[in-house]
């Protein structure tokens, strides 16, 4: 199910339709700011975005990337109405459609097929988070990096090393060292083509 069909389905509801807004955001701007409340479910039509925490010391740790056709939101705001612990920032110019969560939740209560879609969506998110927990618990930084290159191959070309490092939980310097190690291992291990 792509988000365009889903948004069409939401627009069909007369209560919800007037609350649905489509907007554009320039690269670098923030769709949700850390510490603010935003109860919207955000459908990313175009562009690339990240969710990230900024710590007291001013360091930024990226918790997720989102590309075209993704669904984002701050669960904490949606469910509890409390301020978001993280920000959503545009890494490229973005086009989004925002739908208030409570309206969506009410509609879903009346529309079992919609509830099922979000139920399945939650399951997908759960499984991604489970994998990420596994990687932090059991894998080294190098293993996490190599796993990232595979899993996110489609967006890797659009990211900087610093962004990738922040996502796997290390500094850009440490990532640079890891890349060096990998290159050295490869040049030692691989016999030249001729």
Partner DNA sequence: GACTGGCATTAACCCGGGTTTATTGGGCAT
Partner DNA sequence: ATGCCCAATAAACCCGGGTTAATGCCAGTC
What is the spatial distance between Cα 98 and Cα 175, in angstroms, rounded to a whole number?
35
Strand, coil or helix: what is 164? helix
Stretch that binds a copy of itself, among 4-12, 27-35, 121-129, 151-159 (CB under 8 A): 121-129
Tell me the HSE value of 142 on the side-chain side, using a 13 A CA sphere.
8
Q: Which is nearer to DNA, 138 or 191 (CB)?
A: 138
Q: Which of 142, 146, 151, 186 binds DNA (CB under 7 A)?
A: 142
Q: How far is CA 4 from the centre of its chain?
A: 18
Q: Are 76 and 32 in contact (CB under 8 A)?
A: no
What is the spatial distance between Cα 103 and Cα 90, in angstroms, rounded to a whole number?
25
175 binds DNA (CB under 7 A): yes
Q: Which is nearer to a copy of itself, 47 or 114 (CB)?
A: 114
> What residues from 47 to 86 belong to the interface with a copy of itself (CB under 8 A)?
53, 55, 61, 63, 75-76, 79, 85-86
Q: Which of 140, 152, 157, 158 binds DNA (CB under 7 A)?
A: 140
**Shortest distance (Å) from residue 173 CB to a copy of itself:** 17
């Amino acid at each position: 199910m792509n988000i365009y069909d889903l948004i069409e389905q939401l627009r069909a509801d007369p209560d919800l339709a007037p609350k649905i807004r489509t907007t554009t955001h320039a690269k670098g701007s923030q769709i949700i700011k850390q510490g603010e409340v935003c109860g919207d479910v955000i459908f990313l039509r175009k562009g690339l975005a990240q969710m990230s925490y900024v710590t007291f010391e001013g360091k930024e740790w990226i918790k997720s990337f989102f590309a075209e056709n993704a669904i984002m939101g701050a669960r904490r705001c949606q469910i509890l109405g409390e301020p978001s612990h993280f920000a959503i920032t545009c890494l490229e110019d973005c086009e989004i459609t925002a739908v208030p969560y409570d309206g969506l939740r009410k509609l879903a209560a009346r529309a079992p097929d919609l509830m099922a879609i979000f139920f399945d969506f939650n399951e997908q998110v759960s499984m991604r988070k489970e994998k990420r927990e596994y990687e932090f618990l059991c894998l080294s930084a190098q293993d996490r990096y190599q796993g990232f290159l595979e899993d996110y191959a489609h967006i890797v070309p659009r990211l900087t090393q610093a962004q990738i490092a922040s996502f796997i939980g290390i500094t850009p310097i440490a990532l640079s060292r890891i890349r060096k190690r990998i290159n050295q291992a490869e040049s030692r291990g691989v016999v030249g083509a001729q």
